[in-house]
Each structure stands twice: as structure tokens, then as C-alpha cells.
């Protein structure tokens, strides 16, 4: 009897192992494959739909996880962000690991950031693909969110578009903006604005000029994209046009960052990508801590604007759209990447 029970248990373990090993290995897509086959235009529709679903409560988005790697002889400095999400009814969900600010890498001629997306079968729970994207897909979905914000929170007549900060995210914001409407671009940065303007003008076919200061840029811009490291404020309320400005801010994604002054946030309509997140790591955090705003002062989340629950621009008000990056966007770009690259 005892032998029979042992044999039965052993057989169950063997069957269990076979079942577990029955999943095929996930496909690995290297950086070159990812970057040569995906563009920001691929992501815009999916990200718009994800914001819509998020506002309807149809996305499971846990709060981001942050791992700080302090500098020592053996490690760092650097930061690791882990995000993910599942959009109800879609065939996959996504978990993303993004590493940033590993500045010692520059001494080794390596980039300071890296990352992977893991796209998982929502039916079986088995990983389908691992995308070595090194923040490329993150930047695409951030640019796509910028396009959604511009589409719904500005008007067709707002065609003077400013870019404060001219790095990788700014390039995707410019590409995404070009998918929304024709515009005249102006850029300001401590370094790299000339190169940015030349590249974006050649790529988008839109005219781009360099501003000699952030104040000068604000004075002529109807829409302002800000995408800096977030270590200091990038504009002032008195610099803004009085004919209605839309600010789309994406530089703040940690509790230590802020680009937009609190008085600007409180002056008009503040729209978050996800309030429970922007209150902790976005522009809203600073205004809450200063007791200038409360969460009840949030006009809407972006998905509510997409769904038509509230109007965005109604006159000459200041609109600030705070983009901290949500797991819904990661799920959206993950699905897009799997749908497109799995056919290669």
C-alpha cells in the first residue's frame, strides 16, 4: 500500500513536470529587430484605446515598483522601474522592466538605460515574447500618449508647437504630433536643439526653429511638450500665451522630479494620465505637498477626455496634461509589438 502511494505521488510529479515543460520557450526579439520594425505611429491607436479602457475601469494597472540602486564600489548609481498591465478582453498582458540613470555605463561606452518587455499569453499565462527594447518601446508609447493628449486637449487652430528638452522622448513626441496635424515646431534645450530641429524637420516635413530661451519658446507656443530630466522647473506662468496653452508634461516619473510650477498646475485644467500615480510621482505630487491643490482639483484623467465624459479645451484656459506613463500603455505597445513582430 505504501509503495503504491509513493508510486502514485511520483507519477503525479512527473506529469506535473511534463505539463510545466510543455510551454514553448518565449521568442526573443533583439534590439535591432524591435527598433527596425516599430514606430510611434504603430502605437497611437492602441494607446488611445488603452486610455479609454483605463477610464472605464477595464485595465488592471498595479502601482509601479521602484528599485533604487545606490552607488557603491560594486553597483550603481541607477534606478529600476517595473510596470505592467492588462487591458480587459485583449489576448496578452505585459510586464516591463526599465533601468535608467546608470551613468557609470558612459565610462564603458554603454547607454545609461536598458529594458525589456515581457508579453504574456492571457489565456495560458505563458510568456510569449521577450523584447530587448532598451527603453525604445517605452519611448514609443510615451510619444503615443503625447499624440492622444494633443488630439483631445488642443484645437485644430493650435499649430505652434514647442519642445522643451530635445532627447529621445522629444523626438517621439514630434513624430507623434505630426500624426495628429501639421504644425510649426520650435525647440529649446541646453544642448542639442539645433540637431533636433534639423532631424525633425527632415523626418516630419514640418518647419522647426531653435528658440534662444524657454521664455521665448513659451511666448509663441500654443502647445508645449516638456520632456526634461525633471530636476528643475522649465517654465513660468507669466511666460505663457494668454490665448490658451496646452502643456503636455512627461518629465516627471519619480517623487524627486518636477517640471511645471505649482501655480501653473492650479491655474487651469489639470489632466492626469492616472491620478493615483501622478499624485505620487507626477507633477501633481508637488502641488499636493505644497497644499496648493487636492486630488479633487484634478479636472479629469486623459481617458475620460478620450471617452467624451468631459470636454477639454473650452476657451483660453491653461491645460496641463501630466504623463507619468501607465501600465495600460505598456500593455498596449506590448500587444502591438507581439502582433507585428511575431509574424516575422
Look at residue 171 and tell me whether its pLDDT is greater than 90: yes
- The beta-carbon contacts of 286-293 under 8 Å, at least 24 apart in sequence, are 286/258, 286/262, 287/262, 290/262, 292/262, 292/263, 292/265, 292/266, 293/262, 293/265, 293/266
Among 186, 199, 139, 188, which Cα is nearest to 164's? 188
Query: What mean pLDDT comes out for the span 292-311?
Result: 98
**CA–CA separation, 167 vs 136, rounded Å?**
12
Query: What mean pLDDT comes out for the span 7-20?
Result: 57
pLDDT for 251? 86
pLDDT in tens, 224-236: 999 998 789 999 9
pLDDT for 4? 58
- As a whole number, the mean pLDDT across the chain is 93
Look at residue 134 and tell me whether its pLDDT is greater than 90: yes
Look at residue 1 and tell me whether its pLDDT is greater than 60: no
Look at residue 50 and tell me whether its pLDDT is greater than 80: yes
pLDDT for 253? 75
Query: What mean pLDDT comes out for the span 99-110?
Result: 91
pLDDT for 202? 98
Q: Residue holding cell 499565462?
A: 125
> In this prediction, what percent of the chain has a pLDDT beyond 90?
87
**Residue 268: which pLDDT band, with cuts at 50, 70 and 90?**
very high
**CA–CA separation, 313 vs 158, rounded Å?**
11
Query: What mean pLDDT comes out for the span 96-119?
Result: 92
**Residue 11: which pLDDT band, with cuts at 50, 70 and 90?**
low
pLDDT for 257? 86
pLDDT for 100? 86
pLDDT for 8? 59
* Whole-prediction pTM: 0.90
pLDDT for 256? 80
**CA–CA separation, 180 vs 226, rounded Å?**
18
**CA–CA separation, 333 vs 337, rounded Å?**
6
Amino acid at each position: 500500500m505504501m509503495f503504491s502511494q509513493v508510486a502514485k505521488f511520483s507519477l503525479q510529479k512527473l506529469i506535473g513536470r511534463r505539463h510545466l515543460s510543455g510551454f514553448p520557450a518565449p521568442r526573443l526579439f533583439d534590439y535591432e529587430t524591435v527598433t527596425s520594425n516599430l514606430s510611434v505611429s504603430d502605437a497611437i491607436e492602441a494607446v488611445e484605446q488603452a486610455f479609454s479602457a483605463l477610464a472605464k475601469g477595464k485595465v488592471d494597472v498595479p502601482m509601479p515598483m521602484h528599485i533604487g540602486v545606490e552607488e557603491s564600489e560594486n553597483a550603481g548609481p541607477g534606478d529600476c522601474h517595473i510596470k505592467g498591465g492588462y487591458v480587459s478582453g485583449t489576448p496578452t498582458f505585459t510586464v516591463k522592466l526599465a533601468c535608467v540613470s546608470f551613468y557609470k555605463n558612459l565610462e564603458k561606452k554603454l547607454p545609461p538605460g536598458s529594458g525589456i518587455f515581457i508579453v504574456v499569453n492571457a489565456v495560458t499565462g505563458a510568456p510569449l515574447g521577450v523584447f530587448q527594447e532598451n527603453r525604445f518601446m517605452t519611448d514609443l508609447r510615451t510619444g503615443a500618449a503625447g499624440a492622444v493628449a494633443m488630439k483631445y486637449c488642443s484645437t485644430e487652430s493650435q499649430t505652434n508647437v514647442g519642445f522643451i528638452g530635445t532627447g529621445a522622448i522629444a523626438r517621439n513626441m514630434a513624430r507623434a504630433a505630426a500624426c495628429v496635424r501639421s504644425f510649426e515646431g520650435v525647440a529649446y534645450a541646453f544642448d542639442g536643439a539645433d540637431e533636433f530641429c534639423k532631424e525633425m524637420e527632415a523626418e516630419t516635413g514640418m518647419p522647426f526653429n531653435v528658440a534662444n530661451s524657454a521664455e521665448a519658446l513659451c511666448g509663441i507656443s500654443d502647445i508645449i511638450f516638456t520632456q526634461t530630466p525633471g530636476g528643475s522647473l522649465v517654465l513660468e506662468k507669466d511666460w505663457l500665451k494668454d490665448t490658451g496653452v496646452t502643456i503636455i508634461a512627461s518629465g516627471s516619473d519619480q517623487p524627486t522630479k518636477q517640471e511645471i510650477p505649482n501655480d501653473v498646475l492650479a491655474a487651469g485644467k489639470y489632466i492626469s494620465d492616472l491620478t493615483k500615480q501622478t499624485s505620487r510621482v507626477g507633477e501633481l505630487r508637488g502641488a499636493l505637498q505644497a497644499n496648493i491643490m487636492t486630488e479633487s482639483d484634478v479636472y479629469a484623467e486623459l481617458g475620460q477626455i478620450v471617452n467624451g465624459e468631459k470636454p477639454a479645451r473650452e476657451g483660453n484656459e491653461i491645460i496641463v496634461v501630466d504623463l507619468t506613463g501607465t501600465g495600460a500603455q505598456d500593455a498596449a505597445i506590448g500587444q502591438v509589438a507581439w502582433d507585428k513582430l511575431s509574424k516575422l
